[in-house]
Structure 1
Amino acid sequence: MTVEKLITDHIDTWSSALQTRSTAGRGSNGKIDLYGIKKLRELILELAVRGKLVQQDQNDEPASELLKRIAAEKADLVKQGKIKKQKLLPDISEDEKPFELPDGWEWVRLNDISEYIQRGKGPKYSEQGSVKVVSQKCVQWNGFKLEQSRWITDESIHSYTEDRFLKDGDVLWNSTGAGGTAGRCIYLPVVKEKLVVDSHVTLIRTIRDNGKFISNYISTYGIQNRFDPKHSNTLLSGTTNQAELNSSVVTSFLAPFPPQREQERINEKTAELMSLCDLLEQQSLTSHNAHQQLVETLLATLIDSQNVEELDENWARISQHFDTLFTTEASINSLKQTILQLAVMGRLVPQDPNDEPASELLKRIEQEKAQLVKEGKIKKQKPLPPISDEEKPFELPSGWEWIRFGEILAELKYGTSQKCDYLTNGYPVLRIPNVVGGEVSLEDMKFGKLSEHEVKELSLEKDDLIFIRSNGSLNIVGQCTLLRQDLVNHAYAGYLIRAKMHNNFVCAEYISLMTKAVLIRNQIEKPVRTTTGVKNINSSELSNLKLTFPPLSMQMVIVEKVNALLSFCESLKSRLNSAQQTQLHLADALTDAVLN
């Protein structure tokens, strides 16, 4: 089977195998990882370097003859003083060879076929100049990004020998760092300006035009996999944070080496097939984006519904096409957000005119607050600014009210600043890892030496809300967790804020669900400030959040409806994940079948 036929016969497998985006590796784009196409790229490279991509031609001069001429040419360059004499490297043993090569091919060390292998040098930077220095940021899987380069000072140019300046056909290999930086490799067919590399990039210059094939081999999955410091045959040395590809590893690096004419045919076919992959990738992304836009447009009709009856009609139309609409994680997440938005707008369930209006609840909350202040159980709160008509993004049903979060709060309190550790005594303290994700986990608890008074002040009760107030990651700042049980003698850490509400008049689960809606998330993320790289939200900003507040019985009805619909969304996502895993396994199996 030709590779072209392999692509076309299994087009659905390659294009439908998707997963969460990975930032490392060629073939990633947008918020999804086109896993099937990435596997296809890997397969093309693997077939190329194993001699299975194009037909062998017995008339080709074998690589062994080419290697003799390369050795003679290197000796002549040494004699002329153009290159230094290289150290002899050990012969290649049979145990070192990872796979069998076709007739006419040879295993070589990079040093055998190169006239120059050298890491760059630390540059002296300048705002302007005549020579640019190439860093690891310039060497990307999706191309040579020279816009990431900087200038070196003109005064330092004389310290660079002629061989350090990049030439046509050079290979650049990132040589520092783990996690996708070290290992990235690129071939430069044409160099149009004066360039050097910095000390984190290795320059490989082959005697003949063999750089493209070598670059493709370095880019294969099997080689890139060895840029994990934990790999049993890793190419890196040093610590995980400062992993290095040493020059000695590069010079002795083992690579397959085909006849020169076959290399040219392989390089041409590889480029042609990669272009097909580019086209397939673009078509997949275009299709995916169009699908998501369609979903967003149809879900907008739900938001625009004027009443529950119109919403039911629009929902019925969309539900007829669930199998084709909600086929991606992004589309299901959009559906979940639409459900939450409809809930906060009061359009998810029918209103009951017999419900006591929210305005009466707010009056009783004020009365209860005044009594608690009088009894010394809570402090008197500062008045909150009224919500102007301009601040209200939509009209609420009769009986609902726009409120500030602080209006329904009995207390907002920061956690303990005491240091916590794995103590044998002390009080358990909830930290961010115990509440991230919206559920309380009592695993991996730490303990603090707190006074009995502090524990009493910070003790947690059922229906308390815990907010993450500070973290390095913006997307979890303000995240809310509802406590579904009393946690007697448990405290919480200083990066958290506890909210206690007047639970006789407020359904805590309604508030918890509403904090996940875009209406609230946008407010939470807007005031987030950055100090020394740590993002945070304070109690004043939480108190001022604008919420929609329905009658108490309506809050409970909404919670029941939202939970049922979100559970349905989770079942959709579970089925989707199962189907995606099947597609991923198919792509893997197809790749393995071809190679083996």
Structure 2
Amino acid sequence: MIDTNALRQKIIDLAISGKLTEQFPEDGDAHELFNQIQEEKKKLVKEGKIKRQKKLPPVEEEEWPFKIPENWMWVHLGDLFDHNTGKALNSTNQEGNLYDYITTSNVYWDHFELKGLKQMRFTDNELDKCTVTKGDLLICEGGDIGRSAIWPYDFDMRIQNHLHRLRKLLPSLNTKFYYFIMWFYKQNNMISGRGIGLQGFSSRRVHSLVVPLPPLAEQKRIVEIIEQFEPLLNQIDDAQSRYSEDTEILKQKILDLAVRGKLVPQDPSDEPASVLLEKIVEEKKKLIKEGKIKKQKKLPPITEDEIPFEIPESWEWVHFSDLFSLSNGVASRGTVGGELHPVLRLADLTSGQINTESVRNIALSEKEFNTHTISEGDLVFIRVNGSREKVANAFLYTGEQDISYCDHLFCGHKVSSLFDSVYIMYIYHSNMVRVQVEPEIKTTAGQNTINQKSMGKIIIPLPPLAEQKRIVARLDELYGILQV
């Protein structure tokens, strides 16, 4: 798969550092352009069209984020644009007329979503400051900090105070060039929010952002070249999106073969799953007796009506609770006076894996930690989430360090070493399991949840242990090919 985002970054990196275009003497020098912009700025201030802003000092060499050609110049963004923010939404301010307005939720990278616009009152003085017109660059102060787009419409619009409006001081300045700079800076963590609690990209920081200034002709050439790449990159994105959809369909077909016992051949010499299950039951009883897991209410035998399809004779249908002991996690706020322990959160479950590097420490009592601990081979499930599709998603813990987990998650504690957790995780991503999960999900106040009882009664096919391992090896091989 081609990483088009990385490719875009490389193209724009070369472009905004002057390595994608040739410099021509006839383009002139950016210092001349800068002086021209400052003269225009003084004129606009004198005419009362813009407000005088505090002059920023020249950009020092230690502030340069990368090298640029000799005929370019490092400047502050506020040197090039007249900068304003919008109006704060205030229910007590009822002066002026009602107008539509946009906020950060309407601004996306290089485009706007204008459905369901709200209104608030603006006085004539506020309209002058808070109105955007065609060609203005808008930058988000909050939300996805730094997200930017150029207003492309022939009609004007008002903005709320969490948006910055940048209007070029010189008509010939290329605003799209500075849109690309904002995108590149954001992708490379060169802009971010500051502050305690809600973070924001303040007016001072926007105004003082250090940016390159090429001659006008080169700005135009740079933008033209970047835009020539965009259709090709979009075509690659579309093709890869279609490939991803086809790949997911193919994965499900492969999983369907696996759960039916048709992915790898059966070996008559394998110990049948019925014998394996008897051993697992004995190990589970031992763990209950030792107080390591709680005794759970025994589920009734699986009936013929519950079985969705036939499986090989050497396999057995089992409940999930036959293999795992389920338990909720600890409150993410922690315990006063407890010791610090690593606690897994929803944010640590990314791209189908558990990211142990991002796990945070939370104060817990020893009892809480010991009774809510994930060990190697256990499965972690999402118990509650705003996205219905994510509820009951399975993640295998392969780390060696014992960690705890928050109350947005379930843990399936493995009750025996006589089955392969990787096999169970694969099977849990099959449509066969999802069909059982869907009716068990409850939705309240926008949150989707599933409880332990519902999880425990889900039925899955259990092959002999040797065949489980052969299935896992084959799935690893086929999935590896699909990822190429």
Does the TM-score normalized on the shorter chain lie above 0.5?
A: yes
Residues in 1 aligned to 2:163 and 2:455: alpha-carbon distance in whole angstroms: 48
CA distance in 1, matches of 2:42, 2:355: 69
Distance 2:119 2:125 in 1: 11
State the 1:347 CA deviation.
1.5
Q: Corresponding residue for 2:441?
A: 528
State whether structure 2 residue 6 is matched by structure 1 residue 35.
yes
Deviations 1:534-570 (A, max 9, x none): 6543232123313235xxxx52232131243245468
Conserved? CA contact 2:272–2:315, under 8 Å = yes
Match runs of 1:325-336 below 5 Å: 334=251
Rounded Cα–Cα distance in structure 1 between residues aligned with 2:108 and 2:277: 58
After superposition, the Cα gap between the structure-2 partners of 1:565 and 1:357, relative to the gap in structure 1 and judged at 3 Å, is closer
The residue that corresponds to 2:195 in the other structure is: 238
CA distance in 1, matches of 2:325, 2:198: 44
Structure 2 unaligned residues grouped into runs of 5+: 285-293
* Cα distance change, pair 511–367 in 1 and its aligned pair in 2 (3 A): same
Structure 1 stretch 528-537 or stretch 554-563: which is displaced more?
A: 528-537
Report Cα offsets for 1:179-199 as digits up to 9, x if no partner: xx22233333x5422312221
CA distance in 1, matches of 2:166, 2:376: 64
Aligned partner of 2:168 in structure 1 is: 206
The equivalent position to 2:131 in structure 1, one of 165, 170, 174, is 165
Flag the 1:253–1:285 CA change in 2: closer, same or farther, 3 A: closer
CA gap of 1:55–1:92, structure 2 versus 1, over 3 A, is closer
Q: SS at the partner of 1:82?
A: coil
Letter in 1 for 2:394: Q
Post-superposition offset of 1:525: 5.6
Total equivalences in the alignment: 459
What letter is aligned with 1:135?
Answer: T
Task: Describe the superposition over 1:233-261 as per-residue Cα deviations: whole angstroms up to 9, x where unpaired.
Answer: xxx5434x53333323344444444444x
Return the match for 2:155 from 171, 181, 193. 193
Native 8 Å contact 2:318 2:459 kept in 1: yes
Q: Distance in 2 between matches of 1:491 and 1:57?
A: 64
SS, match of residue 118 in structure 1 = strand
What is the identity, as a one-letter code, of the residue corresponding to 2:474? L
1:83 to 46, 50, 74: 50
1:342 aligns with 2:237: no
Q: Is the 8 A contact 1:42 1:220 kept in 2?
A: no
Q: What is the match of residue 557 of structure 1?
A: 466
Task: State the alpha-carbon separation in 2 of the partners of residues 112 and 431 from structure 1.
Answer: 47
Number of the residue aligned with 1:5: none
Q: Which residue of 2 aligns with 1:215?
A: 178
Task: Supply the AA of the counterpart residue of 2:164.
Answer: T
Which residue does 1:284 correspond to in 2? 236
Letter in 2 for 1:238: G
C-alpha distance in 2 between matches for 1:384 and 1:53: 72
The CA deviation at 1:387 is: 5.2
Task: Give 1 or 2 for the bigger CA radius of gyration.
Answer: 1
Structure 1 residue identity aligned to 2:465: M
Equivalent position amino acid for 2:102 in 1: V
Alignment of 1:483-494 (within 5 A): none
Shift of residue 400 of structure 1? 5.3
How far has the Cα of 1:53 moved from its partner?
Answer: 1.9
Cα-Cα RMSD:
5.5
Per the TM alignment, residue 122 of structure 1 is displaced from its structure 2 partner at its CA by 1.3
Give matches, 1:274-423, under 5 Å: 274-289=226-241, 291=243, 299=250, 334=251, 340-351=255-266, 381=298, 383=300, 386=303, 388=305, 392-398=307-313, 404-405=319-320, 408=322, 412=325, 414=327
Matched letter for residue 52 of structure 2: K
Q: Is contact 2:420–2:465 with CA below 8 Å preserved after alignment?
A: no
String of CA shifts for 1:450-482, please: whole Å, max 9, x gaps: 49xx98xx6999999665463558747463769
Correspondent of 1:44 among 2, 9, 15: 15
Matched, 1:538 2:451: yes
How far did residue 345 of structure 1 move? 0.2
Task: Point out the structure with the larger helix share.
Answer: 1
How far, CA to CA, are the matches of 2:271 and 2:439 in structure 1? 34
Letter in 2 for 1:35: A
How far apart, CA to CA, are the structure 1 residues paired with 2:376 and 2:130? Answer: 67
Identical amino acids, percent of aligned pairs: 24
- The two structures have a TM-score, normalised by structure 2, of 0.70
Aligned partner letter, 2:51:
K
Per-residue Cα deviation, 1:82-109 (whole angstroms, up to 9, x for no partner)? 3333444435556556645444x55544
What is the CA–CA distance in structure 2 between the aligned matches of 1:46 and 1:395, rounded to whole Å? 63
- The letter for the 1-side match of 2:257 is L
